[in-house]
């Protein structure tokens, strides 16, 4: 496999759970480095990863991982990848070092090498002091770390990380993201990080694939996706009438409005219209503009644009 080849490629992949179509004709390719798999809950991110692992068999389409066909070489693929599942997962009755060494042996490492690497990897993920404790006594954050350790112990070429910061406190989350970033940027491990948390993906990944309703909604380098195809403003307004009517007018004029956690609305103005267009629309609707600030496009804008949120 050449360096320029995609580490993962999918061609018209369809996965169905009964009548529910979880992946709906997904065609995509993931280049090397760190790629974020973004999407709201139920978008099909976890299904995509589980399909690539061979846990779920697509009803249609082809998938290749590291140049190998998932349908014909699942074991060869799994020898070269690491998987950090979304939910709690461990082998019961083992200490952390036994668990990770066991996973190394299952991946084909000799017992002595597996044990040595288990110690190293546990130190690397920050569990060095707790490595002789039974995994069942671990906190949620520690369980996330041990899942990363078991995925790393056999030194995979590609890592699948499914919501790696789930349930972690802010400090632990930052440390986990630093680890992920270090793996991708300094240790030469390709990774696909599935998350619904935009800041996590933006911090750790170079590229992003946005999924929605079982389809690819957008894909590409984050910086390229964030390139403005117009201008973005933060807007706060006051009106005596219905705010929705004003937003409807903006939308009708071809502008995109995305509400944020604050009382600020992010407005995307395509083309060269700029603030002048916003002011004229506000004046026409009898709305007072209390705050208008140019902003830079964020991954959140890309995501909202891709999945059609408002």
User: Which residues of this chain interact with another protein, rule CB under 8 A?
Assistant: 17-20, 50, 53-56, 75-76, 78-79, 81-83, 85, 87-94, 102-103, 105-110, 113, 117, 119-121, 123-124, 128, 136, 150-152, 154-155, 182-183, 187-188
**Cα-to-chain-centroid distance, residue 4:** 22
Return the number of the residue (81 or 307) whose C-beta is nearest another protein. Answer: 81
In the complex, the smallest distance separating the C-beta of residue 271 from another protein, rounded to whole angstroms, is 46
In the complex, the smallest distance separating the C-beta of residue 231 from another protein, rounded to whole angstroms, is 42
In the complex, the smallest distance separating the C-beta of residue 28 from another protein, rounded to whole angstroms, is 21
Return the number of the residue (151 or 255) whose C-beta is nearest another protein. Answer: 151
Which two structure tokens, joined as six digits, stand for 124? 């690397």
Q: φ, ψ for residue 239 (rounded to 5)?
A: -145, 150
Helix (H) or strand (E) holding 235: strand 230-238
Return the number of the residue (17 or 279) whose C-beta is nearest another protein. Answer: 17
The 8-class DSSP code of residue 181 comes to H
Return the number of the residue (45 or 226) whose C-beta is nearest another protein. Answer: 45
How far apart CA 55 and CA 41 sit, in angstroms, is: 20
Burial 114-153 (b: 16+ CB within 10 A, else e): bbebbeebbebbbbeebbeeebeebeebbbbbbbbbbbbb
Name the region of 210 (left: φ>0; alpha: ψ -120 to 50; beta: rest): beta
**Residue 84 pairs with which residues in a beta bridge?**
161
In the complex, the smallest distance separating the C-beta of residue 12 from another protein, rounded to whole angstroms, is 21
In the complex, the smallest distance separating the C-beta of residue 10 from another protein, rounded to whole angstroms, is 18
Return the number of the residue (143 or 215) whose C-beta is nearest another protein. Answer: 143
């Amino acid at each position: 496999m050449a360096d320029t080849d995609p580490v993962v490629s999918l061609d018209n992949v369809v996965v169905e759970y009964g009548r529910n179509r979880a992946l709906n004709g997904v065609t995509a390719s993931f280049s090397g480095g760190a790629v974020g798999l973004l999407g709201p809950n139920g978008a099909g991110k976890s299904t995509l990863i589980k399909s690539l692992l061979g846990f779920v068999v697509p009803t249609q389409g082809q998938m290749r991982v590291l140049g190998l066909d998932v349908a014909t070489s699942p074991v060869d693929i799994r020898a070269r990848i690491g998987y950090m599942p979304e939910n709690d997962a461990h082998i019961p009755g083992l200490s952390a070092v036994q668990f990770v060494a066991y996973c190394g042996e299952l991946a084909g490492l000799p017992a002595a090498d597996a044990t040595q690497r288990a110690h190293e990897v546990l130190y690397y993920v920050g569990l060095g002091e707790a490595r002789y404790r039974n995994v069942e006594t671990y906190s949620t954050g520690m369980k996330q770390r041990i899942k990363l350790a078991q995925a790393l112990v056999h030194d995979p070429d590609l890592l699948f990380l499914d919501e790696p910061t789930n349930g972690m406190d802010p400090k632990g989350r930052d440390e986990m993201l630093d680890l992920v970033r270090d793996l991708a940027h300094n240790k030469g491990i390709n990774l696909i990080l599935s998350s619904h948390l935009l800041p996590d993906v933006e911090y750790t990944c170079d590229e992003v694939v946005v999924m929605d309703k079982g389809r690819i909604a957008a894909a590409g380098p984050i910086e390229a996706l964030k390139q403005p195809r117009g201008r973005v403003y933060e807007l706060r307004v006051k009106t005596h009438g219905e705010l929705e009517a004003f937003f409807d007018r903006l939308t009708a004029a071809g502008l995109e409005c995305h509400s944020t956690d604050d009382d600020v609305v992010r407005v995307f103005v395509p083309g060269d219209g700029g603030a002048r267009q916003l002011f004229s629309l506000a004046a026409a609707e009898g709305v007072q503009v209390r705050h208008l600030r140019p902003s830079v496009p964020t991954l959140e804008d890309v995501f909202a644009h891709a999945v059609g949120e408002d």
